[in-house]
Amino acid sequence: MTAVTKNTESRRERKKAAVRSQIITTGIELFVRYGITEVTVDQIAEAADIGKGTVYNYFQTKEDIVVGFMMDLEHQVQAQLHGFTSSNRRLDAILIDFLRLQFRLKSRHHKFVRVFLSQMFSRTEQFYPYMVEMQRAIDLPLEKLFRSLQDRGMIRGDVNLPDLIQIFKTIHLGLTALWAIEGPPFRRTERTLRQQLKLFCEGLEAS
């Protein structure tokens, strides 16, 4: 493959990534303003100044835009995963910092997280297929994290990882709801996060 062809493909990929990002950013802004149920793909296309067909080239439904947004956040988590899997800190400190990262990445989208949670709980049946897809993205970094910590002897070897991941996600969801309701500076969320993770880790640590 020639350098010209590589450069052309690189420019094309950058353009596609920029359009996808524009669609997600515009969609999230409209969802915050009007709610997910009230916004149409036509409105997203008009606000993004692109054709409706272009939106459908990237996302089949407006809910897919939400999934794309959440999965992009998870990819950012995965990019920083090595720092957690190789950390020499205490187990509770590692997991506390892991959840702090999650909230830090979502901090500028706090209003959207509120909208998303309200829609998820009020339209569970409609959102269920999208929630399953998002869970797949969430499970991957968690499995890598907990498996690494277990292999290093920081978590008891008899702990079932799928069960552990499910329990941890339940804690995370509860903390996310508190974080969304409370708003900045999130002092109660921070205090509750530290308390819950310390208690959670007491039963996991190898003796």
pLDDT in tens, 52-94: 999 999 999 999 999 899 889 888 998 999 999 999 999 999 9
The answer to which of 40-49, 90-99, 119-128, 162-171 has the lowest mean pLDDT is 119-128
- Axis-axis angle for helices 124-151, 161-182 (nearest 10): 120
Where does residue 39 rank: exposed (0-12), middle (13-18), buried (19+ CB within 10 A)? buried
- The encoded tokens of residue 27 equal 């969609």
Task: Tell me how far the alpha carbon of residue 164 is from its chain's centroid.
Answer: 18
Q: Is residue 38's pLDDT more than 80?
A: yes
pLDDT of res. 84: 94
What tens digit of pLDDT does each residue of 122-150 get? Answer: 888 888 888 888 888 889 889 999 999 99
Local confidence band at 11 (pLDDT 50, 70, 90 cut-offs) = confident
CB of 205 closer than 8 Å to CB of 155? yes
Q: Is the dihedral of CA 31, 32, 34, 35 positive or negative?
A: positive
Could you tell me the CATH superfamily of domain 61-207? Tetracycline Repressor, domain 2 (1.10.357.10)
Residue type, 146: F
Domain 1-60 coded CATH 1.10.10.60: yes
For residue 162, say if its preceding peptide bond is cis, omega within 30 degrees of 0.
Answer: no
pLDDT of res. 124: 85
What tens digit of pLDDT does each residue of 86-123 get? Answer: 999 999 999 999 999 999 999 999 999 999 998 888 88
Scanning the structure block, which residue is given the tokens 């998820």? 120
- How far is the C-alpha of 77 from the C-alpha of 150, rounded, in Å? 20
Domain locations along the chain: 1-60, 61-207
Q: Is residue 3's pLDDT more than 70?
A: no
Q: Is residue 2's pLDDT more than 70?
A: no
Q: Is residue 4's pLDDT more than 90?
A: no
pLDDT of res. 133: 84
Mean pLDDT within 175-181: 96
The dihedral formed by the CA atoms of 200, 183, 131 and 134, expressed in degrees to the nearest 10? -80
pLDDT of res. 31: 96
pLDDT of res. 131: 85
Length of the chain: 207
pLDDT of res. 167: 95
- How far is the C-alpha of 104 from the C-alpha of 73, rounded, in Å? 10
Q: What percent of the chain shows pLDDT beyond 70? A: 95
CB of 201 closer than 8 Å to CB of 149? no
DSSP string for 43-110: HHHHHHTS-HHHHHHH-SSHHHHHHHHHHHHHHHHHHTHHHHHT--S-HHHHHHHHHHHHHHHHGGGH
